[in-house]
Amino acid sequence: MSALSAFFPSAAPEAQRPATRDTPWLRWSLTGVALLFVAGFLVIPLTAVFAEALRKGAEVYWAALVDPDALAALRLTLTAAVIAVPLNVVFGVAAAWAIAKFDFPGKSFLTTLIDLPFAVSPVIAGLAFVLVFGLQGWLPPEAQAELLAPAVARELAAIPGLGWALGGLAEWLANPRIVFAVPGIALATIFVTVPFVARELIPLMQAQGNDEEYAALTLGANGWQTFWRVTLPNVKWGLFYGVVLCNARAMGEFGAVSVVSGHVRGETNTLPLHVEILYNEYQFAGAFAVASLLALLAIATLILKSLIEWRLTLNREQNL
């Protein structure tokens, strides 16, 4: 009983109470356990990545990073992020704006839909794309060609020079490929990163309420002006925060991308897939070198995130 009351002190009559009544012994051991946990699950593995990466010397490390396949994987990872993040910014802002500022039928359904990628295993998501766009799927490449590239695109591709000038776009339209090619990887990346921006903005926008927008409208601003000059600046830092998280996930995604990739070296392997391949080929130093590159990208993202968080609290305090 006395042990219990140490954890659940009854409402104390004293006017002044210390912040905690736990014995220093208990406090320090709890802190110690937490620190051990952080060290065991975060610091040690992360250190191990860099230690393993550099074990065979800086030369091997560098060689693994400038390997053509690694560079191609880096390019693809960045491409996927460059496609997925802006699209998710547009979608996330639009969805958050609709959900936080307006009432409409189906609102909770939309909210659930946005959370779907969190609930669905990424592998299932990738498989779904294969089942839809694959050769045996609902919308196989032939049907995609009919749908995406009406005769015009094929004509465009046939004109010498133009196909080249459009950077392969016309060529792609005439012979579209989604799964086992870059579009599929971009699609899979977009799918798994959908919730990040919207999830970040919705609570923020809801907390801010509609007062400032009403004020703007009363003063004669139209919808666009209200959005650009009032709504967006108010959520600016929250949006950046969402973008950073979205980007981190886009670059780190493995499961969904693995299913739609086709694993063509130098073409459809992203950095995480490249790490797996190197590891399976006993090129441990190389695998850890590329993994450390991913870890560095993640650490840079975390630093950026902390900076934004710091600005965010600063902003909130100023607003109060």
Interface residue list for other proteins (CB under 8 A): 71-72, 74-75, 78-79, 82, 130, 133-137, 140-141, 177, 179-180, 262-268, 277, 280-282
Task: Report how far residue 244's alpha carbon sits from residue 65's, in angstroms, rounded to the nearest whole number.
Answer: 24
- What are the φ and ψ backbone dihedral angles of 56, each rounded to 5 degrees? -95, 20
Specify the residue, 63 or 277, whose C-beta has the smaller distance to other proteins.
277
End-to-end CA distance of the chain: 44
* Per-residue 3-state assignment (H helix, E strand, C coil) for 68-101: HHHHHHHHHHHHHHHHHHHHHHHHHHHHHHHHHH
Closest CA to 190 of 303, 97, 74, 92: 92
Residue closer to other proteins by CB (options 42, 71) is 71
Provide, rounded to whole angstroms, the least separation between the CB of residue 277 and other proteins.
7
Closest to other proteins by CB, 155 or 281: 281
- Residue 263 beta carbon to other proteins: minimum distance, rounded to whole angstroms: 5
Half-sphere exposure of 151 (CA within 13 A, CB side): 0
Nearer of residues 111 and 140 to other proteins, judged by Cβ: 140
Distance between CA atoms of residues 247 and 261, nearest Å: 19
Residue appearing with tokens 């799964």? 179
Distances (CA, A) of 1 to 9, 20, 24, 194: 11, 19, 20, 50
Smallest distance, other proteins to C-beta of residue 161, A: 15
**Cβ-based nearer residue to other proteins, 49 or 202:** 49
**What minimum distance in Å lies between the beta carbon of 319 and other proteins?**
19
Residue closer to other proteins (CB basis): 99 or 293: 293
CB contact set of 30 (below 8 Å; sequence gap of 6+): 22
- CB 164, min distance to other proteins, A: 11
Residue among 97 and 133 whose Cβ is closer to other proteins = 133
Question: Measured from the CB atom, is 104 or 224 closer to other proteins?
Answer: 224
Residue 1 CB, nearest distance to other proteins (Å)?
47
Question: Minimal CA–CA distance to 98: which of 128, 106, 159?
Answer: 106
User: CA-to-CA distance for 176 and 142, rounded, in angstroms?
Assistant: 8
Token readout for 175 is 């012979």
Q: Which of 22, 199, 179, 6 is nearest to 99 (CA)?
A: 199
CB of 281 to other proteins, least distance (A): 5
Q: Shortest gap between Cβ of 130 and other proteins (angstroms)?
A: 5
